[in-house]
Chains A and B, each alone.
Chain A
Amino acid sequence: DAKTTQPPSMDCAEGRAANLPCNHSTISGNEYVYWYRQIHSQGPQYIIHGLKNNETNEMASLIITEDRKSSTLILPHATLRDTAVYYCIVRVRGNRDDKIIFGKGTRLHILP
């Protein structure tokens, strides 16, 4: 089973920041938080990952709480092209057994 809990769906107005929450209360010390997204009829796309510190790249920001039991993915200025299913995943990096275990994710609707 997936080790994360996400809301099934969310709406966000175009141009606003989209904040997607994720709970991972059983995360282990060596597990990273990863985010992928899947636009309709495409394969999942890597967005960002982090261990303890907040991370930012050209796509998004990742805020991880100090106890690491939850995180938030932030899309700073959402566009219609950000409509997708967003998956929050916890996994160990570099393990021999490094398959990704996906949950059902959050379906994000960007509203015009």
Chain B
Amino acid sequence: DTGVSQNPRHKITKRGQNVTFRCDPISEHNRLYWYRQTLGQGPEFLTYFQNEAQLEKSRLLSDRFSAERPKGSFSTLEIQRTEQGDSAMYLCASSIAYEQYFGPGTRLTVT
């Protein structure tokens, strides 16, 4: 499968713990995006990279969130000191031109 992959697919954590998600984009896609989706809502933009440079961050991305794309390939999204409000689906997308291709998402549940 040469699509966007995300790991883990599901994560259950206790409030206050740190979690890290990984996204592997489609090979040679230079742009990578993170979105968050809560129940009944459309995905909301969090941040985006062109190669290894993080070019934009949404105001939704609080100080507890950090994203990296160290070699311009895979990306990680870390949430520190998780809160129940962080429970959501975290989606990754990649593109090389104009169309974004999404991964299956990581569903985070904070108990």
Binding site for B on A (CB under 8 A): 2, 41-46, 49, 85, 87, 93-94, 96-105
Contacts and interface: CB of A to CB of B under 8 A. Distances in A.
Interface stretch (B68-76, B80-88, B94-102): B94-102
A99 B41 contact: no
Contacts of A2: 42
Interface of B: 4, 31, 33, 35, 40-45, 48, 55-56, 91, 93, 95, 97-105, 107
B40 A104 contact: yes
A35 B91 CA distance: 18
A43 B102 contact: yes
Contact of B102 (A44, A85, A97, A101): A44
A100 B43 contact: yes
29 contacts: A2-B42, A41-B104, A42-B105, A43-B4, A43-B91, A43-B93, A43-B102, A43-B104, A43-B105, A44-B43, A44-B91, A44-B93, A46-B101, A49-B99, A85-B42, A87-B42, A93-B98, A96-B55, A97-B56, A99-B45, A99-B48, A99-B56, A100-B33, A100-B35, A100-B43, A102-B43, A102-B44, A103-B42, A104-B40
Contacts, number: 51
Report whether over half of chain A's contact residues are helix, strand or loop; otherwise say mixed.
Answer: loop
A93 B97 CA distance: 9
B42 A46 contact: no
